[in-house]
Structure 1
Amino acid sequence: MHVVVNAAISADGKLSSRRREQLAISGEDDFDRVDRLRADSDAIVVGVGTVLADDPSLTVKDADRRKRRREGGEPENPARVVVDSKARTPPDAEIVDDAATTYVCVSESAPVDRRMELADRPDTQLVTAGDGRVDLLRAFATLQADGLERIMVEGGGELIFSLFEVGLVDELRAFVGPTVIGGRDAPTLADGEGFVEEFPTLALEGVERIDDGVLLTWRVDEGQ
Structure 2
Amino acid sequence: MHVVVNAAMSADGKLSSRRREQVRISGPDDFARVDRLRAESDAVVVGVGTVLADDPHLTVKDPELCERRLEAGESRHPARVVVDSRARTPADARILDDAATTYLLVSEAAGDDRRATLARPTLEFVTAGDDRVDLPRAFAELERAGLETVMVEGGGELIFSLFDAGLVDELSVFVGSRIIGGRDAPTLADGDGFVEAFPELDLERVERMDDGVVLYWRVRFADGE
Task: Tell me the CA shift for residue 116 of structure 1.
Answer: 1.8
| Separation of aligned partners in 2, 1:91 and 1:134 | 20
CA-atom RMSD in angstroms: 0.7
| Separation of aligned partners in 2, 1:85 and 1:112 | 13
Map Cα deviations across residues 170-207 of structure 1 (whole Å, 9 max, x no partner). 00000000100000000000000000000000000110
User: How many equivalent residue pairs?
Assistant: 223
| Separation of aligned partners in 2, 1:40 and 1:23 | 26
Task: Tell me the CA shift for residue 149 of structure 1.
Answer: 0.5
Name the TM-score, length of structure 1 as normaliser: 0.98
For structure 2, the 5+ residue unaligned runs are none
Map Cα deviations across residues 35-55 of structure 1 (whole Å, 9 max, x no partner). 000000000000000000000
Identity of aligned residues (%): 73
What residue in structure 1 maps to residue 73 of structure 2? 73
> Deviation above 4 Å: which 4+ runs of structure 1?
none
What residue in structure 2 maps to residue 132 of structure 1? 131
| Separation of aligned partners in 2, 1:197 and 1:223 | 13
| Separation of aligned partners in 2, 1:109 and 1:86 | 6
Task: Tell me the CA shift for residue 122 of structure 1.
Answer: 3.2
What residue in structure 2 maps to residue 31 of structure 1? 31
| Separation of aligned partners in 2, 1:85 and 1:115 | 12
Q: For residue 134 of structure 1, give the secondary structure of its aligned residue in structure 2.
A: coil
Map Cα deviations across residues 130-182 of structure 1 (whole Å, 9 max, x no partner). 00000000100000001100000000000000000000000000000010000
What residue in structure 2 maps to residue 3 of structure 1? 3
| Separation of aligned partners in 2, 1:81 and 1:211 | 29
Q: For residue 181 of structure 1, give the secondary structure of its aligned residue in structure 2.
A: coil
Matches within 5 A, 1:48-197: 48-118=48-118, 120-197=119-196
